[in-house]
């Protein structure tokens, strides 16, 4: 089964086009047992807004029940589907010529993208609801941000990292509220600190410190989905001095406060 550009297994609530890009707000209409393996001709971003979603995209949980953004490149073949028909999703479909002319090396496999891309997709979804004469420019700007974030993900996954570099990266991901020293990371890797710093930046496109900041922000975003968790508690768990420090870092990275992020993903 092949789905042409802009075609999905759902009913359209709203849809618009801008510069060849197609935006749509949809609800699933095909029961899970009736969804068969299918292929999408063109690339698209899919933003899960509500419901329980099963996806084979890299980085997705077995069943996703919170807001998430997936990039499906052209020719993606999968059996992604909703558990039940009470879900909702937003899509941004990309024409083949626009994908080919992108100024980035983009993923060649379906992948879950990070928080910066997730927020850009949420802004596009909001734009679809309040469309006006300026909307095409907003869409174009957010689209290029999405491509840049997808390219960054592709860069990190281009080739298997050396085992020693992967070990150090995992140490950063698991560091929680404790900030490791560069000498500790290099010791974990078994290399000199200077060599470690250069190799880490070359492989992941950022310094170890910058990567740690990103890991902490991603962890904080996951915790923010639980409305019962106080912001001060999240700040402490993710290594920030206090709630004010956390809010400042979050706003600098994502252009909105943690509380605004929590409202955005809840109202979707």
What is the DSSP pairing of strand 111-112 with strand 68-72?
antiparallel
For the chain, the domain total comes to: 2
Where helices occur in the chain by DSSP H, the ranges are 96-100, 115-129, 135-156, 163-173, 182-189, 193-204, 208-224, 231-237, 243-254, 258-267
Residues 60 and 131 in one domain: yes
Residues 169 and 213 in one domain: yes
Alpha carbon separation from 12 to 27, 34, 50, 258, 264 (Å, rounded)? 7, 19, 15, 31, 22
Residues 31 and 110 in one domain: yes
pLDDT at 265: 77
d(CA 52, CA 65): 5
As a whole number of Å, the CA-based R_g of the chain is 19
Residues 109 and 135 in one domain: yes
pLDDT at 154: 73
Domain boundary among 107, 128, 156: 156
d(CA 51, CA 95): 27
Residues 109 and 169 in one domain: no
- Beta-bridge partner residues of 11: 27
Question: What phi and psi, each to the nearest 5 degrees, are found at residue 4?
Answer: -75, 175
Domain boundary among 98, 130, 156: 156
Residues 82 and 196 in one domain: no
Residues 39 and 143 in one domain: yes
d(CA 39, CA 58): 17
pLDDT at 268: 60
Q: Do the beta carbons of residue 215 and residue 253 sit within 8 Å?
A: no
**Cβ neighbours of residue 134 under 8 Å, at least 6 residues apart?**
none
Query: Range of 32's domain?
Result: 2-156
Q: Which CATH number covers residue 143?
A: 2.60.120.10
Domain boundary among 121, 156, 191: 156
pLDDT at 82: 97
pLDDT at 35: 96
pLDDT at 226: 87
Residues 31 and 59 in one domain: yes
Residues 145 and 44 in one domain: yes
Residues 200 and 182 in one domain: yes
pLDDT averaged over consecutive 10-residue blocks of the chain (268 residues)? 92 95 97 96 95 95 93 96 95 92 85 92 94 96 93 70 86 87 92 94 88 92 90 94 94 91 77
pTM of the model: 0.81
Residues 204 and 237 in one domain: yes
DSSP symbol at 33: G
d(CA 234, CA 240): 9
d(CA 252, CA 43): 30
Write b or e for each residue in 110-149: b if 16 or more Cβ atoms lie within 10 A of its Cβ, otherwise e: bbbbbbbbbbbbbbbbebbeeeeeebbebbeebbebbbeb
pLDDT at 160: 63
The token duo for 13 is 């609530």
**Cβ neighbours of residue 231 under 8 Å, at least 6 residues apart?**
243, 246, 247, 258, 259
Question: What phi and psi, each to the nearest 5 degrees, are found at residue 143?
Answer: -60, -45
Residues 141 and 177 in one domain: no
Q: Which CATH number covers residue 187?
A: 1.10.10.60
């Amino acid at each position: 089964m092949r789905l042409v550009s802009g075609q999905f297994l759902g009913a359209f609530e709203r849809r618009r086009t801008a510069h060849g890009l197609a935006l749509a707000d949809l609800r699933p209409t095909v029961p899970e047992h009736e969804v068969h393996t299918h292929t999408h001709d063109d690339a698209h971003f899919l933003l899960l807004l509500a419901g329980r979603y099963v996806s084979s995209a890299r980085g997705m949980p077995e069943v996703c029940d919170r807001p998430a953004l997936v990039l499906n490149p052209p020719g993606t073949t999968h059996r992604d589907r909703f558990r039940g028909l009470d879900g909702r999703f937003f899509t941004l479909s990309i024409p083949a010529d626009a994908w080919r002319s992108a100024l980035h090396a983009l993923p060649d496999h379906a992948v879950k993208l990070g928080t910066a891309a997730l927020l850009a997709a949420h802004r596009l979804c909001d734009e679809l609801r309040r469309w006006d004469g300026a909307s095409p420019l907003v869409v174009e700007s957010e689209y290029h941000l999405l491509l840049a974030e997808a390219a960054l993900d592709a860069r990190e996954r281009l080739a298997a990292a050396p085992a020693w570099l992967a070990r150090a990266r995992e140490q950063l991901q698991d560091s929680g509220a404790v900030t490791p020293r560069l000498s500790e990371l290099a010791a974990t890797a078994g290399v000199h600190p200077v060599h470690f710093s250069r190799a880490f930046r070359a492989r992941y496109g950022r310094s170890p410190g910058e990567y740690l900041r990103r890991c902490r922000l991603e962890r904080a975003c996951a915790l923010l989905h639980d409305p019962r968790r106080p912001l001060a508690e999240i700040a402490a768990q993710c290594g920030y001095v206090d709630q004010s420090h956390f809010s400042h870092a979050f706003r600098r990275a994502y252009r909105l406060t943690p509380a605004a992020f929590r409202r955005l993903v809840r109202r979707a």
